[in-house]
């Protein structure tokens, strides 16, 4: 059977280069090594010009003739080999599959190449940054998480997906959203709306908000997974439409927005292909309780952990804009947070019929 997935020749070439460079070093009787970019906090920076979190240029040589590195050196090439096999066959596998594909007992010993998956997962991340390829470009996927509906038609592994005909649940966003799998065919949307909560996504979908406002509606059910973030990046950059995020009024909602906009500290190497600096924050805001006349009983008192987290993000370089400083300080001063569902206190469809339409009309958002 012919695969519907097109081979990524660029990534195959990158993997091939890593292998041939090692062979060349061996032929020259050198200690074979591979330079692995460091994925720690000291090697992460905020690039104000690009407005994204980036990984620095620091690397560590992983050497074969080094007792502390030899096993990881061999594991790196073993994972690279298995990824190449997957790409050569034009298929995709889960990161759990790859663990078992790479696991074996070395002949004549009781030593395994990998004992647990928590050994192979970091090697995959090392290979991502070394090959300058996302895990998804290496043919590796995680469980689907997230849903989408709206004014867009796309192709998913050769099948046509009409976002206007996705029922109540929406299209299940795959973990791999690369161009060789997902292609955009028609888009009539004026903007993209990312919603934190699945329940709010369902309300907006049931009310056909995406139809009345000509948009694409998505949710990640909390912190957006990699596949959804990659899809957002591609839609904004390829379809040339704006992205708005609608999250809870708390430090964790603010951070969800910042991960979409600037990227994450832990996975800074992804930012260049996932962060969307153009993203705008449309709510929920600290003063919305007063503005929309919500009762006191919809608020939730800030816990010590909330306060600590709010003070942390207050210091982040990407939250130094005047609007954000005022927003976070206002929340701390008021001493409470609110969930998106608090707007249901006004009416079941208040969010879709009044709140978001007014926000969009008034261009009431933070950048």
Using CA atoms, how far residue 62 sits from 33, 127, 354, in Å, is: 5, 12, 57
333 by Cβ neighbours in 10 Å (0-12 / 13-18 / 19+) ranks as: exposed
Which residues are marked as active site?
100
In sequence order, what are the residues at sequence separation of 6 or more whose Cβ sits closer than 8 angstroms to the Cβ of residue 327? 254, 285, 286, 366
Torsion angle, CA of 15/18/22/23, rounded to 10 degrees? Answer: 50
* Long-range contacts of residues 8-11, Cβ cutoff 8 Å, at least 24 apart: 8/87, 8/137, 8/178, 8/180, 11/87, 11/131, 11/133, 11/137, 11/138
CB 53 within 8 A of CB 44: yes
Whole-angstrom distance, CA of residue 109 vs CA of residue 154: 51
How many distinct helices (H) and strands (E) make up the chain?
14, 17
Cβ atoms within 10 Å of 169's Cβ, excluding its own: 12
Distances (CA, A) of 93 to 7, 141, 246, 280, 295: 14, 6, 33, 34, 50
């Amino acid at each position: 059977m012919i695969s519907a997935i097109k081979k990524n020749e660029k990534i195959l070439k990158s993997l091939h280069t890593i292998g041939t460079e090692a062979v060349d070093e061996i032929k020259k009787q050198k200690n074979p090594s591979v330079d692995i970019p460091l994925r720690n906090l000291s090697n992460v920076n905020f690039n104000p010009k690009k407005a994204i979190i980036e990984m620095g240029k620091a690397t560590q040589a992983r050497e074969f003739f080094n007792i502390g590195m030899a096993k990881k050196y061999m594991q790196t090439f073993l994972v690279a080999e298995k990824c190449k096999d997957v790409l050569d066959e034009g298929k995709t596998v889960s990161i759990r599959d790859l663990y078992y594909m790479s696991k074996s007992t070395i002949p004549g010993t009781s030593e395994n190449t990998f004992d647990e998956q928590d050994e192979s997962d970091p090697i995959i991340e090392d290979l991502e940054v070394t090959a300058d390829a996302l895990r998804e470009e290496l043919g590796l996927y995680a469980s689907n998480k997230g849903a989408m509906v709206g004014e867009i038609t796309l192709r998913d592994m050769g099948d046509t997906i009409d976002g206007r005909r996705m029922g109540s649940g929406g299209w299940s966003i795959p973990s791999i959203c690369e161009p060789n799998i997902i292609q955009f065919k028609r888009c009539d949307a004026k903007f993209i709306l990312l919603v934190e909560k699945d329940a709010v996504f369902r309300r907006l979908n049931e009310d056909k908000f995406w139809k009345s406002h000509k948009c694409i509606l998505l949710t990640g059910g909390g912190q957006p997974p990699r596949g959804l973030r990659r899809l957002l990046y591609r839609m904004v950059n390829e379809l040339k439409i704006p992205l708005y995020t609608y999250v809870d009024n708390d430090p964790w909602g603010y951070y969800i927005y910042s991960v979409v906009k600037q990227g994450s500290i832990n996975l800074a190497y992804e930012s260049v292909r996932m962060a969307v600096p153009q993203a705008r924050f449309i709510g929920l805001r600290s003063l919305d309780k007063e503005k929309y006349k919500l009762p006191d009983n919809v608020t939730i008192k800030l816990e010590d952990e909330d306060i600590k987290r709010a003070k942390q993000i207050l210091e982040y370089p990407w939250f130094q804009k005047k609007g954000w400083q005022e927003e976070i300080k206002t929340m701390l001063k008021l001493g409470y947070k609110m969930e998106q569902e608090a707007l249901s206190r006004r009416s079941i469809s208040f969010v879709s019929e009044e709140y978001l339409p007014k926000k969009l009309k008034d261009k009431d958002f933070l950048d």
